[in-house]
């Protein structure tokens, strides 16, 4: 609107579509002259709302944000979890030998149980969730290292193989439960008071802590009993 004239503008030409005189100050309610009928007013309103008064536009920068960005981040998170898990497996196999294999099986089952529980409960796997899973893998590694070192200590003290395994698991179990219980309470607090990504991290953390305690204490002990329990005279343990 320039000096009381409505103008239709294009790159090639300009055309006057209405000449109106404003009778009052522009605001929510005001009056103009130069409109013959209600139809003319309606047409004018339609032209104004449709953007008939076009202005030239130059694109300085253009970005497209779509689901590919989130997909790429999730793939990177999965690679990070996979690499950390693979590194832990190689370390345990080299350092603890047969008990390293037992630990690897327990860690693998822990990871599968976390993903299965999240799928069963209908939780979406997000980047904070992947961070929570990576953290629980580390906590599960810590628990298994504690058990293996306990067994080593009992063997160095001269205890027989079966007794060393049993005593190692019994002594380490209490420490593992105490340590994980504190982290579990922190995860519950994050879920109760957090929002959005914080809750996603808390869900993965809570489920991971529960499954890591089960796999580190019960599953790994069951596998160790299955391997060494049938041997009456256990002279040495590959640990």
**b vs e for 218-230, b when ≥16 Cβ sit within 10 Å of the residue's Cβ?**
ebbbebbeebbee
Instruction: Give the pLDDT score at 90.
Output: 84
Provide the angle, in degrees to the nearest 10, between the axes of the packed helices 67-121 and 220-228: 70
Which range is least confidently modeled, 121-130, 138-147, 174-183? 121-130
Positions of CATH 1.20.1640.10 in the chain: 67-228
pLDDT digits (tens, 9 = 90+) for 44-64: 777 766 654 456 667 777 766
Structure token digits, residue 227? 């391997």
Secondary structure in 3-state letters for 6-69? EEEECCCCEEEEEECEECCCCCCCCCEECCCCHHHHHHHHHHHHCCCCCCCCCCCCCCCCCHHH
pLDDT of residue 169: 86
Sorting pLDDT into bands at 50, 70 and 90, what band is 76?
A: confident
Residue 3's pLDDT is what? 44
Beta-carbon contacts of residue 220 (< 8 Å; ≥ 6 apart): 102, 103, 105, 106, 144, 147
67-228 is classed in which CATH architecture? Up-down Bundle (1.20)
Strands 14-19 and 21-22 turn out to be unpaired
28 vs 205: which has the higher pLDDT: 205
Tokens of 128: 């904070």
Q: Is pLDDT of 21 > 50?
A: yes
Both tokens of 121, joined, read 């409960």
Report in angstroms the alpha-carbon separations of 38 from 24, 99, 107, 223: 19, 89, 77, 87
Q: What single-letter DSSP state applies at residue 5?
A: E
Computed over every residue of the chain, the mean pLDDT equals 77
Beta pairing partners, 21: 33
Under 8 Å between Cβ of 104 and 93: yes
Residue 146 · residue 175 · CB < 8 Å: yes
pTM over 0.85: no
pLDDT in tens, 3-20: 444 444 445 566 666 777
Specify the higher pLDDT residue, 154 or 52.
Answer: 154
Among 6-10, 97-101, 103-107, the minimum mean pLDDT is found in 6-10
């Amino acid at each position: 609107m320039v000096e009381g004239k409505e103008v239709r503008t294009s790159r090639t030409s300009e055309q006057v579509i209405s000449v109106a005189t404003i009778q009052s100050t522009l605001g929510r309610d005001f009056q103009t002259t130069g409109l013959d009928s209600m139809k003319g007013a309606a047409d004018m309103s339609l032209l104004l709302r449709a953007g008939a008064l076009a202005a030239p536009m130059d694109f300085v920068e253009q970005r497209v944000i779509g689901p590919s960005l989130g997909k790429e981040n999730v793939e990177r998170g999965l690679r990070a979890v996979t690499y950390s898990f693979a590194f832990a497996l190689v370390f345990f196999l080299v350092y603890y030998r047969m008990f390293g294999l037992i630990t690897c099986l327990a860690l693998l089952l822990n990871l599968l149980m976390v993903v299965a529980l999240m799928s069963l409960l209908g939780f979406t796997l997000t980047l904070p969730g992947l961070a929570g899973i990576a953290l629980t893998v580390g906590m599960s590694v810590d628990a298994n290292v504690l058990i293996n070192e306990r067994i080593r200590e009992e063997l160095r003290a001269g205890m027989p193989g079966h007794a060393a395994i049993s005593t190692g698991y019994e002594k380490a179990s209490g420490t593992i439960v105490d340590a994980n219980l504190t982290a579990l309470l922190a995860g519950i607090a994050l879920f109760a008071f957090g929002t959005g990504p914080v809750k996603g991290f808390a869900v993965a953390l809570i489920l991971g802590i529960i499954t890591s305690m089960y796999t580190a204490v019960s599953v790994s002990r069951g596998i160790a009993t299955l391997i060494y329990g049938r041997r009456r005279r256990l002279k040495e343990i590959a640990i």
